[in-house]
Chains A and B, each alone.
Chain A
Amino acid sequence: MNKIHNHQLTAILFLSGAWSVICIPSLYGNGQISGTFAACLIQILCCLPMLALRTGTFSNQIQKHKSLGILYILFFLICGANGFSQLWEAAPPQLLPASGKLTAAVLIALTCFYTSSAGLRATARAAPIVMSIFIISLLVLILGAWNRADLSRIAFRTTDFLPSIRTYFSLSGELAAVWILSDTVRNHKNAAVNSYLIAKAAFCILILFFSITSGGRLIHLNGYPFFTLTALSQPLQGQRADALYILVFVMLHIMHTTLQTGLIEHIAEQMYPIAEKWSAPVSLIFMLIPAYFFKSAVLENMIFYSLPVLILLIPLSLRIRQFMQSIHKKEFTHEIS
């Protein structure tokens, strides 16, 4: 795979994660904010051993163990499907003008087919540009919400703490991409991953904080903190600007799905070079099908349970295996000598 810069890795992972964050439903209290903060810390603690434990490049590993590649492909398919499912569930408040939710998803899938064909390097180059647009829109959003913010609207409920950790984890599918993408980064890999984790947590907390403080009880009407915030934060007087966030919504979903499709394409190509041409359209179809039949809650559960396996157990088991092999090799050479 082509080499990418560390800031590009941060941007790719952040944008993919930001899509999940804007689709978080039903988070209304201080419990969620502290839960999200805790989840982020746990993720940093999980990522550090993953980066330390990984043995060799991911490409080498999947060529040795094809089942590993298949496992990752399945996981990214679920992440992509979850993205479409979230689109369908979050679409009504956003009022997508495409005729019907399925049309909107198909249009996004077609665009993703094109964007993923441009390669992961194009995704890496596009990510910082999209991120800068996203940050500008976020600043406008926060400026609009600033005047409405009222700290007394925060509901103190500690019961939300643990569920929010779980929610945050189930929306962090891009963590599995860290191992694959970190092979392609030139330098400062750990710093890039940590920057992404911190940026994502900051974004999530920011959205939760401002949606709670400016929305209060209104947030229950919509269900999605980010979209409530876009509806409440109107920087211009006399006209509504929330429709402009459709652009952000579309950009983030395309980045999210393109990343999943691009990773599947990359893994499939490494395992079976013949799969290069058809892996992207097939994977997009296999993302749309489960998204149509399953609710995002089901898919998020799958992500939640498989994520520890992918980011901790597999690197750990490969490391142990390598360790055992090296011991065996030493014994063998000792016997020969």
Chain B
Amino acid sequence: MTEKNISGTLEETLAQIRHICANSSDILINRITAGGIPCAVLTCEGMLSTAIMTELIIEPLTEIPVQKDSKAFYQYLEQNLLLSLDRPVIRNFDELFRFLYSGFAVILAENQHTALAFGVQGYAVRSISEPSGEANLYGSHDGLTEAVRTNMSLIRRRMKTPLLKFELSTAGHLSQTDICLCYMTDRVPPQMLRQIKKELDSIKLDTILSSGYLQPFLEKCRGSLFDSVGLSQRPDVLCSKLLEGRVVLLIDNTPFALVIPKLFIENFQTLDDYQHKPYYAAFSRWIKYGAFLIAVLLPALYIAVSMHHPELLNSTLLLILTDAEQKAPLSLTTETVFVLLMYEIIREAGLRLPKSVGGAVSIVSGLIIGDAAVSSGLISTPMLTMTAISVIAGFVTPDLNAPVTIMRLLFIIAGGLWGLFGIGLLGMAVLYNLCATETFGFPVTAPLAPFYSRAMRDVATRVNFHRMQFGNFTVEEYHEQNS
């Protein structure tokens, strides 16, 4: 687009607009005379509400008394008519198209170097519904939608304080996507905020179609298995993060907000933990920690022990496993990798297919393939049981699905090749990968490494709110300065 200023006659300006948008069919130009001044009302089809447009723009325009010139016409519009609450003044074509494509109505008058825009957006958006990915028993049931302004209101409804600040800007050279930086002015680490803004300003992408486009720019550690920037669909979760001094980034056209920074331990925390009694919340936390280890290590340990360290098994178990494995034609490692890859294929198929066909996939995979493979002797039952337990345990921490899937396969290969020795080697590599991950000076391993004993009240256990209300924790405590 162009940053050229609006100038010349109305006819010339309109010609230029038609030229820039290459006579695009969705740009509607209505020439009218209002207050005795020739002017044009520009809109983008489908982006605004026709009813609001007629009621708030067209009707008042026709009732304007005769003005002496265009300048007086603009003055009258600005001072005497409250056509909409959002009324920016446009000076160049770049701004003009941005507002036009955002659902604003733009009024251009003869011989004027500016245009007036009026917010009458009325495009179709999905209504607020329960987030699909972050199910919660006791929390609120509304989730973010695709419209950034709706999402801002969802957060604002929960945080009625002037300390919560929203900063709107655009990103994406062509898409001009609205992004909104949210933070608590009294709690956000100023250095982190500065760095985030700098990072966002440096993005040279053409389009921002999802949160995944921005995430890599905010994750400072390359090659990491784990996320250092979080995602959430829940406004209540976002509010809790904002209270801890984190920055939330809302992106237009995506129902996921980015949370900066994210700690590894947060993968095991849910809003329901704060609803239950502390003893149950702590129990549930430890179940999740255990499930994560089972998801990653169980098949690998099974292979390593069966193939390289059978002395670790008691004689009864050893006999059962030996008997089962003797009937299977493939090696234990190959068998496990094969089953896990099949599971991943079925999962992908179930995810992409229409829901009506998804049921059929479950029947084919679960009953036909699974049952047939075991009864034909292709796959041994103990191995299938271990794999199934591991996969189910992975569902407990959905945010860690990607690293768990990859790590599980790598651990299986390492365990199959070198037994516990291989698992130890890979375990150390993964631990170092996790420990090296940080963003804007915040290590994802905090508060475990470096260790903050005060934070254990919400990690090793979950203390009640009588104790939780004291302390004023902010994430800045975990910031690690470079020398």
Is A247 an interface residue when CB atoms closer than 8 A count as contact? yes
Q: Please provide the chain B residues from 435 to 483 with a CB less than 8 Å away from any CB of chain A in the complex.
A: 435-436, 443, 445, 448-451, 480-483
**Closest Cβ of chain A: how far from B413's Cβ, in Å?**
13
- Select which of B312, B418, B421, B422 is within 8 A of A239 by beta carbon: B312
What residues on A are CB-neighbors of B308 within 8 Å?
A: 97, 243
Interface size band for A = 35 or more
Are B450 and A250 within 8 A (Cβ)? no
Are A250 and B449 within 8 A (Cβ)? no
Is A74 an interface residue when CB atoms closer than 8 A count as contact? no
Are B451 and A122 within 8 A (Cβ)? no
- Select which of B418, B449, B480 is within 8 A of A128 by beta carbon: B449
Is B309 an interface residue when CB atoms closer than 8 A count as contact? yes
- Select which of B313, B420, B431 is within 8 A of A126 by beta carbon: B431
Is B419 an interface residue when CB atoms closer than 8 A count as contact? yes
Complex Cα–Cα for A251 and B445 (A): 18
**Closest Cβ of chain B: how far from A2's Cβ, in Å?**
5
Complex Cα–Cα for A56 and B314 (A): 59
Complex Cα–Cα for A5 and B436 (A): 15
What residues on A are CB-neighbors of B313 within 8 Å?
A: 239
**Closest Cβ of chain A: how far from B203's Cβ, in Å?**
27
Are A115 and B420 within 8 A (Cβ)? no
Q: Give the 10 A-B residue pairs with the shortest CB-CB distance, closest first.
A: A250-B424, A118-B436, A97-B419, A125-B435, A125-B449, A122-B436, A243-B309, A240-B311, A115-B432, A97-B308
Looking at B311, B425, B451, which has the most chain A CB atoms within 10 Å of its CB? B425
A-B contact list, 22 entries, CB within 8 Å: A2-B480, A3-B481, A7-B450, A97-B308, A98-B421, A104-B421, A108-B425, A111-B426, A114-B432, A118-B436, A122-B435, A125-B450, A126-B432, A130-B431, A236-B314, A239-B312, A243-B308, A243-B419, A246-B419, A250-B421, A251-B427, A258-B432
Is A241 an interface residue when CB atoms closer than 8 A count as contact? yes
What residues on A are CB-neighbors of B311 within 8 Å?
A: 239-240, 243
Q: Please provide the chain A residues from 196 to 250 with a CB less than 8 Å away from any CB of chain B in the complex.
A: 236, 238-241, 243-244, 246-247, 249-250
Q: Please provide the chain B residues from 291 to 326 with a CB less than 8 Å away from any CB of chain A in the complex.
A: 308-309, 311-315
What residues on B are CB-neighbors of A281 within 8 Å?
A: none
- Select which of A111, A125, A251 is within 8 A of B443 by beta carbon: A125
Q: Please provide the chain B residues from 323 to 353 with a CB less than 8 Å away from any CB of chain A in the complex.
A: none
Are A241 and B435 within 8 A (Cβ)? no
Is A119 an interface residue when CB atoms closer than 8 A count as contact? yes
Residues 86-129 of chain A, each 1 if its beta carbon lies under 8 Å from chain B, else 0:
00000000001110000010011001001100110111111111
What residues on A are CB-neighbors of B480 within 8 Å?
A: 2-3, 121
**Closest Cβ of chain B: how far from A86's Cβ, in Å?**
16
Complex Cα–Cα for A250 and B426 (A): 10
What residues on B are CB-neighbors of A111 within 8 Å?
A: 425-426, 428-429
What residues on A are CB-neighbors of B483 within 8 Å?
A: 1-3, 184
- Select which of A122, A127, A251 is within 8 A of B424 by beta carbon: A251
Are A246 and B448 within 8 A (Cβ)? no
Is A39 an interface residue when CB atoms closer than 8 A count as contact? no
Complex Cα–Cα for A107 and B419 (A): 13
Are A247 and B429 within 8 A (Cβ)? no
**Closest Cβ of chain B: how far from A132's Cβ, in Å?**
9
- Select which of A7, A236, A250 is within 8 A of B428 by beta carbon: A250
Are A97 and B421 within 8 A (Cβ)? yes
What residues on A are CB-neighbors of B171 within 8 Å?
A: none
- A-side interface residues toward B, CB under 8 Å? 1-3, 5, 7-8, 96-98, 104, 107-108, 111, 114-115, 118-119, 121-130, 184, 236, 238-241, 243-244, 246-247, 249-251, 254, 258
Which chain A residue shows the least CB distance to B441? A2
Is B251 an interface residue when CB atoms closer than 8 A count as contact? no
What residues on B are CB-neighbors of A254 within 8 Å?
A: 425, 428
**17 more A-B residue pairs beyond the given contacts A114-B429, A115-B432, A129-B435, with a C-beta to C-beta distance below 8 A:** A1-B483, A2-B480, A3-B483, A107-B422, A107-B425, A119-B436, A123-B432, A125-B435, A125-B443, A125-B450, A126-B449, A128-B450, A238-B314, A240-B311, A247-B423, A254-B428, A258-B432
Are B449 and A129 within 8 A (Cβ)? yes
Are B482 and A2 within 8 A (Cβ)? yes
Complex Cα–Cα for A129 and B427 (A): 12
Is B9 an interface residue when CB atoms closer than 8 A count as contact? no
Is B153 an interface residue when CB atoms closer than 8 A count as contact? no
**Closest Cβ of chain A: how far from B158's Cβ, in Å?**
34
Is B433 an interface residue when CB atoms closer than 8 A count as contact? yes
What residues on A are CB-neighbors of B422 within 8 Å?
A: 97-98, 107
Are B425 and A125 within 8 A (Cβ)? no
What residues on B are CB-neighbors of A129 within 8 Å?
A: 431, 435, 445, 448-449
Are B312 and A5 within 8 A (Cβ)? no
Q: Please provide the chain B residues from 364 to 419 with a CB less than 8 Å away from any CB of chain A in the complex.
A: 418-419
Which chain A residue shows the least CB distance to B446? A125
Complex Cα–Cα for A247 and B305 (A): 13
Question: Contacts A184-B483, A243-B420: A128 and B433 contacting too (C-beta < 8 A)?
Answer: no
Complex Cα–Cα for A249 and B448 (A): 23
Complex Cα–Cα for A114 and B435 (A): 13
- Select which of B314, B424, B431 is within 8 A of A246 by beta carbon: B424
Are A118 and B424 within 8 A (Cβ)? no
Looking at B418, B435, B481, which has the most chain A CB atoms within 10 Å of its CB? B435
Complex Cα–Cα for A125 and B435 (A): 6
**Closest Cβ of chain A: how far from B162's Cβ, in Å?**
36
**Closest Cβ of chain B: how far from A35's Cβ, in Å?**
32
What residues on A are CB-neighbors of B314 within 8 Å?
A: 236, 238-239
Which chain A residue shows the least CB distance to B423? A247
**Closest Cβ of chain B: how far from A100's Cβ, in Å?**
11
Complex Cα–Cα for A96 and B480 (A): 39
What residues on B are CB-neighbors of A246 within 8 Å?
A: 419-421, 424
What residues on B are CB-neighbors of A239 within 8 Å?
A: 311-314
Are A98 and B448 within 8 A (Cβ)? no
Are B421 and A96 within 8 A (Cβ)? yes
Which chain B residue shows the least CB distance to A111? B425
Which chain B residue shows the least CB distance to A97? B419
Which chain A residue shows the least CB distance to B450? A5
Complex Cα–Cα for A129 and B451 (A): 9
Complex Cα–Cα for A111 and B309 (A): 22
Are A107 and B431 within 8 A (Cβ)? no
What residues on A are CB-neighbors of B445 within 8 Å?
A: 125, 129
Are A247 and B424 within 8 A (Cβ)? yes
**Closest Cβ of chain B: how far from A115's Cβ, in Å?**
4
Which chain B residue shows the least CB distance to A130? B431
What residues on B are CB-neighbors of A96 within 8 Å?
A: 418, 421
Which chain A residue shows the least CB distance to B415? A97
Which chain B residue shows the least CB distance to A7? B451
What residues on A are CB-neighbors of B432 within 8 Å?
A: 114-115, 118, 122-123, 126, 258
Complex Cα–Cα for A125 and B442 (A): 12
Are A244 and B431 within 8 A (Cβ)? no
Looking at B424, B427, B432, B451, which has the most chain A CB atoms within 10 Å of its CB? B432
Are A115 and B448 within 8 A (Cβ)? no
- Select which of B420, B421, B433, B482 is within 8 A of A118 by beta carbon: B433
Which chain A residue shows the least CB distance to B428? A254
Looking at A127, A241, A246, A254, which has the most chain B CB atoms within 10 Å of its CB? A246
**Closest Cβ of chain A: how far from B224's Cβ, in Å?**
10
Are B425 and A241 within 8 A (Cβ)? no
Are B315 and A238 within 8 A (Cβ)? yes
Complex Cα–Cα for A104 and B315 (A): 29
- Select which of A104, A108, A126, A249 is within 8 A of B435 by beta carbon: A126
